[in-house]
Structure 1
Amino acid sequence: MAEKKKLRSSEWFNSDNKKMNFTHRSWLRNQGYPDDYFEGKPVIGICNTWSELTPCNGHLRDVAEIVRRGILEAGGFPMEFPVMSLGETIMRPTTMLFRNLASMDTEESIRANPLDGIVLLTGCDKTTPSTVMGACSVDLPTIVVPGGPMLSGRFRGEKIGSGSMNWMVKEKQKKEGFTDADFREAEVCLSRSIGHCNTMGTASTMATMVEALGLTLPGFSSIPAADSRKKMFAQLSGRRIVEMVREDLKLSKILTREAFENAIVTNSAVGGSTNLIVHLTAIAGRIGVDLKLEDFDTHGSKVPLLVNLKPSGNYLMEDFFYAGGLPVVLNRLKPLLHNEVITVNGKTLGANYADAVCYNDQVISTLENPLQEEAGIAVLKGNLSENGSVIKPSAASKHLMRHRGRAVVFETMEDYHNRIDDPDLDIDKDSVIVLKGVGPKGYPGMPEVGNVDLPEKLILQGVKDMVRISDGRMSGTAGGTVVLHVSPESTVGGNLALVRDGDLIELDVEKRKLHLDVPDEELEKRRKAWVAPEPLADRGYVKLYIDHVEQADKGADLDFLVGGSGSKVERDSH
């Protein structure tokens, strides 16, 4: 019989240092724990991103209690703890600025405490990658409990998607005469239940990602937050994490190179957010897998689109679940996946989804009859993005996938807001909008502003889309022919910084090309005249971020956080 593995928590409660044991146990006694809680029960940390300032995660206090129930049933000792919560819908200037800070909070909270296994309660966009990143840096048995999407919005007899409607406000005002009263009515209809965005935006994309990586129980990510089956899966996750500790099934055993390739393929098939790139790359960096920007093109760009969800399609996450959800997608993707990888339930990915059944082929199509033949994120290179940039073909306009146009340049976000609706602005439907200063260091934090609104005068002419280029990001709920994550960013002197009004820019997605048609000699002349902008912070975390954040093609993590250091117990000072 194999020797029973010593629990990490025993270093706090049952070590050779009697004084230390007494101190740790006696203080916890004020919560009323009996003797047997300190005598070999696996201590499970419930990492909760609940906050009233994060509406998408507002129900996670209740979810934590259900997870606790499962942990107790399996013989574990549950200990809930809070970490920084990131509410995409509320926080300014952008939650991406704080993703790495929340990951540090998660990592150090886990490392410093007597925890043997971790349950991550996630929901809004950055709460999933930040907590997974932090957990990877410690590498304990870990399972993810995704909070789930909202129920479908309904407005005046039609379904509307949370998030996607936000990008239509200007058009609704200018073209359809929407009043304040109309928008107030839509607000309530849009967000009518607990949960995160109900489109395949970044929150749903990240939930899908963690299941494709093997970090959730099979089928968990697709279930709406308000569905009772979400509670059942949360309770089962509480039971399972205790078993994972006993099996020593750590994150590093699940998050292999093959698991990351599976997530890339899956993201393409569901029409997931471009934000997956910066998050998945950062997670890989924390666990020690060498994932490059080019891998997203190599493994994902030729994958067909199978899921008909907004913003790349017509349906919402609730419809996706009723059609069979992610299990159907992973079953139909079998020929393109590494099916032998291990997942949190101890079974292989292929075994978990072998019996999945589709109930609506209009929502989830097949490899033989896809919605789009090649829908994965394309990685573009050229003199305008030497280290790479990205575009989401499934959400772009086909007629603009090969385009040559005259640049209309905005040096900052403020410059854009001040001039975009100026009737005298020299811009037409064939122009290319270029937005600078919104990269990781420049904003700072790389906000979701890449899909900037079109000029009012062009909207009134019926223009629906234009090529837009920036070093920023785009919400997963948005669409358009938008080139994002340009690296190096303008703030550090990438060629994006040198673009001027009237320069010709060539976009050719098929050839993976983004080219600024300006001679090298002229670019060099402009570079010599270029002056780097002043840093936007001189103290605190924001300065730390600006000084150490890596470029988008590397995941925008802090350089000193890349690579995990494991879950060793630090020497106690008592």
Structure 2
Amino acid sequence: MSTRTLRSQEWFGRTGKDGFIYRAWMKNQGIPDDEFRGKPVIGICNTWSELTPCNAHFRELAESVKRGVLEAGGFPLEFPVMSLGETLMKPTAMLFRNLASMDVEESIRANPVDGVVLLCGCDKTTPSLVMGACSVDLPTIVVSGGPMLTGKFNGRNIGTSDLWRFSEDVRTGIMTEEALNLAEMGMCRSRGHCAVMGTASSMACMVESLGLSLPGNAAIPAADANRKVIAQLSGRRIVEMVRDDIRLSSILTQQAFENAIRVNAAIGGSTNFIIHLLAIAGRIGVQLSVDDFDSLSKDIPLVANLQPSGEYFMEDLYYAGGLPAVMHSISSRLHVDCVTANGKTVGENIHEKISLNRAVIADLDQPFNPISGIVVLKGNLCEAGAVLKPSAASPALMRHTGRAVVFEDIEDYKRRIDDPDLDVDESCVLVLKNVGPKGYPGMPEVGNMGLPRKLLEKGITDMVRISDGRMSGTGFGTVVLHVSPEAAEGGVLGLVKDGDEIELDVPNRKLQLLVDDAELNRRRGLMTRQTVSFTRGYVKLYTEHVEQAHLGADFDFLKGGSGSAVSRDSH
């Protein structure tokens, strides 16, 4: 190790009463005295939980990390933080992302750690851990949990994206409940997060493209022995990062964020990527706006043929060369001189990492789809922006004007969507209000509304849908999301009425409510907001301080960071 004083020695290197307390109570776990003598202490931030099924194998991953830390001469200490299980948490895991980030930030700062390994997998665990760690800014490396093995049903491959198709088929009688149960048995065949390029996989690709993990981290299946190998290697590497004082701020440059945006376009990543990357940028102090996601990705085609925008699965991506091969394919569009967690540049990491299967990872000049990335729309319906994922949408609906069918909230939608008397046809635009950060609260993944049953029975599979909420990264369709300002904040979305004409013009990045300003002002004067009042606890804090979607939906008081210094010394 260098002669630089380790942060942990502010605890363990003390003499007298203070040092006695810090060391003696740690020794009740059977730790030898020499572990406290100048070794770098590595905190293993673990989101293991049986209530987060995607992360239920993290105890084993933590043991692999510990082996690597010990091999490199470090002192590993594992600690738990709040775990966000996307499939089980109500009302939505997104409501608690900022809370988990606060848990991570304060846990790291308050304890005697010199570097941190973040164990994350399920959707919100990755951004919440990175956000919290950024606000402290110690040497940090990410180890993802990995995707599950590809699902199987009736002799074909399935993944989470198929769930939306199965649901519509059951509603129309095409699929029986018995068949749905069989699909359920074959969907989740192993440990790990969703097997498609949903939000969890997009987040794993995000941290790798930012340079926060070892190369190849994103795509290794959770069940593959190489997942434990990369965890062990990451344990070794974090000790070296502490020695060299490579902090998050050393890696997370403006150029690193630009790389991540372009990679997300190339893989057809989740729209949730936007809201999480904006929050991370806000914590580390990099200037990033929602418009950057459009401008930086518009010339990047879809080169990874993965569901929901394509055909294959994360397991196939791994066999085809993983994210390094994707980044190699678009290397001419990347900042290849960015330094990453392993101490090498992006260019060094992806050199000669060619695609091993061009059916899965194509070349830049022969992509699967020339349309990719994230489109940011502007107009009177979304003055601060709204987003759409064109690779998952219907080309015929990229320019569309239709009559609004309005649902005031998610309960209203559920009550009326299958009503045979609902005044709707396939040319209409479904509008869902009050599912934004404050309106729900928490901004749930309900934006890809299921279509009315009577239209499904006619064979209609897509319609323009607009909301101030989000959708699962596994979802698809011509879905406009993250409308900002949201209805609950007085946004124009809250003024939309049944029968209003709405124009969507994706090529010109426009979303317009075709109602004149005088009428909108009249409606605004009559509008009563649908916000639910909370009088206590975290949800009260959330609704009072959460920012709008185009700013990352972080808390206004969490921008930037407080560093690693502890403000008071109690002993």
Residue type of the alignment partner of 1:76: G
Q: CA deviation at 1:536?
A: 3.9
Number of the residue aligned with 2:244: 247
Number of the residue aligned with 1:111: 109
Q: CA deviation at 1:533?
A: 2.5
Number of the residue aligned with 1:454: 451
Matched, 1:171 2:168: yes
Number of the residue aligned with 1:288: 285
Number of the residue aligned with 2:398: 401
Residues 96 and 446 of structure 1 are in contact (CA less than 8 Å); yes or no, is this contact kept in structure 2? yes
Aligned pairs for 1:95-134 within 5 A: 95-134=93-132
| Residue from 116, 139, 142 that aligns with 1:141 | 139
Residue type of the alignment partner of 1:455: P
Matched, 1:299 2:303: no
Number of the residue aligned with 2:262: 265
| Residue from 71, 78, 81 that aligns with 2:79 | 81
Q: CA deviation at 1:174?
A: 3.6
Number of the residue aligned with 1:543: 540
Number of the residue aligned with 1:256: 253
Matched, 1:29 2:3: no
Q: CA deviation at 1:358?
A: 1.4
Residue type of the alignment partner of 1:68: K
Q: CA deviation at 1:176?
A: 5.0
| Residue from 61, 65, 80 that aligns with 1:63 | 61
Residues 434 and 530 of structure 2 are in contact (CA less than 8 Å); yes or no, is this contact kept in structure 1? no
| Residue from 58, 71, 89 that aligns with 1:91 | 89
Aligned pairs for 1:552-563 within 5 A: 552-563=549-560
Q: TM-score, normalised on structure 1?
A: 0.98
Matched, 1:482 2:479: yes
Residues 51 and 85 of structure 1 are in contact (CA less than 8 Å); yes or no, is this contact kept in structure 2? yes
Counterpart-to-counterpart distance in 2, 1:343 and 1:265: 17
Q: CA deviation at 1:33?
A: 1.1
| Residue from 161, 182, 185 that aligns with 1:185 | 182
Counterpart-to-counterpart distance in 1, 2:192 and 2:313: 13
Residues 444 and 536 of structure 1 are in contact (CA less than 8 Å); yes or no, is this contact kept in structure 2? no
Counterpart-to-counterpart distance in 2, 1:75 and 1:46: 15
Residue type of the alignment partner of 1:141: P
Residues 174 and 460 of structure 1 are in contact (CA less than 8 Å); yes or no, is this contact kept in structure 2? no
Q: CA deviation at 1:18?
A: 2.3
Counterpart-to-counterpart distance in 2, 1:484 and 1:456: 22
Number of the residue aligned with 2:371: 374
Residue type of the alignment partner of 2:150: S
Deviating beyond 3 angstroms after TM superposition, the runs of 4 or more aligned structure 1 residues are 174-177
Q: CA deviation at 1:175?
A: 4.2
Counterpart-to-counterpart distance in 2, 1:166 and 1:308: 19
Counterpart-to-counterpart distance in 2, 1:337 and 1:454: 39
Counterpart-to-counterpart distance in 1, 2:101 and 2:396: 40
Residues 501 and 513 of structure 2 are in contact (CA less than 8 Å); yes or no, is this contact kept in structure 1? yes
Counterpart-to-counterpart distance in 1, 2:250 and 2:531: 44
Matched, 1:509 2:506: yes
Number of the residue aligned with 1:494: 491
Q: CA deviation at 1:196?
A: 0.2
| Residue from 27, 48, 51 that aligns with 1:50 | 48
Number of the residue aligned with 2:13: 14
Q: CA deviation at 1:340?
A: 0.5
Counterpart-to-counterpart distance in 2, 1:530 and 1:110: 45
Q: CA deviation at 1:173?
A: 1.1
* SS of the residue 1:373 aligns to: coil
The Cα offsets for residues 407-443 of structure 1, whole Å up to 9 and x where unpaired, read as: 0000000000000100010000000000000000000
* SS of the residue 1:363 aligns to: coil
Matched, 1:279 2:276: yes
Counterpart-to-counterpart distance in 1, 2:406 and 2:568: 55
Q: CA deviation at 1:185?
A: 1.2
Counterpart-to-counterpart distance in 2, 1:102 and 1:542: 13
Residues 378 and 392 of structure 1 are in contact (CA less than 8 Å); yes or no, is this contact kept in structure 2? yes
Counterpart-to-counterpart distance in 2, 1:18 and 1:385: 61
Residues 485 and 548 of structure 2 are in contact (CA less than 8 Å); yes or no, is this contact kept in structure 1? yes
Residues 488 and 531 of structure 2 are in contact (CA less than 8 Å); yes or no, is this contact kept in structure 1? no
* SS of the residue 2:306 aligns to: coil
The Cα offsets for residues 457-508 of structure 1, whole Å up to 9 and x where unpaired, read as: 0000000000000000010000000000000000011000000000000000
Counterpart-to-counterpart distance in 1, 2:152 and 2:285: 44
Residues 8 and 569 of structure 1 are in contact (CA less than 8 Å); yes or no, is this contact kept in structure 2? no
Counterpart-to-counterpart distance in 1, 2:452 and 2:166: 13
Residue type of the alignment partner of 1:168: R
Residues 142 and 251 of structure 1 are in contact (CA less than 8 Å); yes or no, is this contact kept in structure 2? yes
Q: TM-score, normalised on structure 2?
A: 0.99
Counterpart-to-counterpart distance in 2, 1:371 and 1:165: 20
Residue type of the alignment partner of 1:188: M
Q: CA deviation at 1:374?
A: 2.9
| Residue from 536, 552, 567 that aligns with 2:564 | 567
Q: CA deviation at 1:205?
A: 0.2
| Residue from 177, 200, 204 that aligns with 1:203 | 200
| Residue from 307, 311, 319 that aligns with 1:314 | 311
Q: CA deviation at 1:168?
A: 1.8
Residues 421 and 455 of structure 1 are in contact (CA less than 8 Å); yes or no, is this contact kept in structure 2? yes
| Residue from 450, 460, 473 that aligns with 1:463 | 460
* SS of the residue 1:567 aligns to: coil
Residue type of the alignment partner of 1:507: L
| Residue from 418, 432, 436 that aligns with 2:433 | 436
Segment of structure 1 superposing worse, 534-543 or 134-143: 534-543
Residues 329 and 354 of structure 2 are in contact (CA less than 8 Å); yes or no, is this contact kept in structure 1? no
Residues 305 and 312 of structure 2 are in contact (CA less than 8 Å); yes or no, is this contact kept in structure 1? yes
Residues 11 and 569 of structure 1 are in contact (CA less than 8 Å); yes or no, is this contact kept in structure 2? no
